[in-house]
Structure 1
Amino acid sequence: MSDAVREAGKQGRPQFRNIGITDITLKVRQPPAAVVSILHRISGAALFLMLPFLLYLLQESLLSETSYGHFAGMVDNAFVKLILLGLSWAYLHHFTAGVRHLVMDMHLGLDKGTSQKTAVWVFVVSLALTALVGLKLFGVF
C-alpha cells in the first residue's frame, strides 16, 4: 500500500472498536422502557427454560400424597424459596410488561413521555406483587 493511501486513511476515517457487554450495560444509561423490554425478554426466556422442570415437579407432586408431601417439604428450604421468588418475579414482570405491550398494540401510550411512565409502572407493579408473594412465601402473613 502506498504512503499516500495510508496517510489518507489515518486522517478522515473514524475508527470503530469492538465494545463489550459491560460497555453497553454499565456505561450507557438506558431509559426505563428499554430496561423493561430487555427484562421482558429475559423473564420470558427464564420461564421458557424452566417450564419443563416445573411441569415435571407438578407431575411428580400429583402422583400420590407422599410425593406431594415430599415436594411440600422441599419448599420449606430457604434456597428453594428464593428460587420460587425469582420465578414469581419473572412471571409477574413478564405478565405486567405483556399487558403494557398489549395496550401499546392498541396504539395507546406510544409517545415518549407516556411510554416511560408506563415502563416505571411496570417496575412498580411487578416489584410490589413480587414483594407480596415473598411475604407470603416466607410466612409473614
Structure 2
Amino acid sequence: MKTQRPVSSDKRPVNLDLSSIHFPLPALISISHRVSGVLLFIGLIFMMWALQASLASPAGFQIVSDTLAHNFFARLVMWGLLSALGFHFVAGIRHLVMDIGYGETLEGGQQGARLTVIFSIVLMILAGVWVW
C-alpha cells in the first residue's frame, strides 16, 4: 500500500524563480554594498602587489607607474576599484544613518537609496576623470 503525503493548505511555491522576483531599490543597494565589499577585498590583491612592487626599488616604482599610465586594463581595474570604494563608502554611510534611526520607513529607505545612487555616480565620474 502506498503512503500519501499530507496535503498542505498553504500555496507556497516549491522552487522559487529568483529571476521573476522584483527587488526594490533599497534591497538592490544593500546587496550591491555587499558585492562591492567583496570586490574591494579581492582588489586588495592587485593593490598590495602594486604597493609592494613600487616600494621594492626605483625600477619597480617606474614599472608600476608606467603600467598605470599606459595600460588600459590597469586603468580600468583602478577605476573599478575606486568606483567600488566610492559606492561602498556612500552605501556604508547610508547604513550608518539608518542605524541611527533615520530613513527606516519605506519612503525614507527609497529616498536614501536614490541619494546613494546619485552620490555614487558622482564619485564614479570623478574617479574616472582622475584615472583617465
TM-score range, shorter chain: 0.7 to 0.9
CA distance in 2, matches of 1:28, 1:118: 22
Instruction: Kindly indicate whether residue 85 of structure 2 is the aligned counterpart of residue 87 of structure 1.
Output: no
Counterpart in 2 of 1:31? 24
Instruction: Kindly indicate whether residue 14 of structure 2 is the aligned counterpart of residue 17 of structure 1.
Output: yes
CA distance in 2, matches of 1:2, 1:56: 64
Counterpart in 1 of 2:90? 96
Unaligned ranges ≥5, structure 1: none
Which portions of structure 1, spanning 4 or more consecutive aligned residues, are displaced by more than 2 angstroms?
11-19
Calculate percent identity across the aligned residue pairs.
34
Q: Deviations over 1:86-137 (max 9, x none)?
A: 1111111110001111111111111110111111111111111111111221
SS in 1 for 2:23: coil
Shift of 1:82: 1.3
CA distance in 2, matches of 1:129, 1:12: 51
Aligned residues: 131
The structure 2 residue matched to 1:119, chosen from 99, 107, 113, is 113
| Aligned AA (1:57) | A
Unaligned ranges ≥5, structure 2: none
CA distance in 2, matches of 1:14, 1:126: 41
RMSD: 2.2
Q: Deviations over 1:10-41 (max 9, x none)?
A: x967473334xxx32x4222111101100000
Specify the structure having the higher radius of gyration (Cα): 1
CA distance in 2, matches of 1:32, 1:15: 25
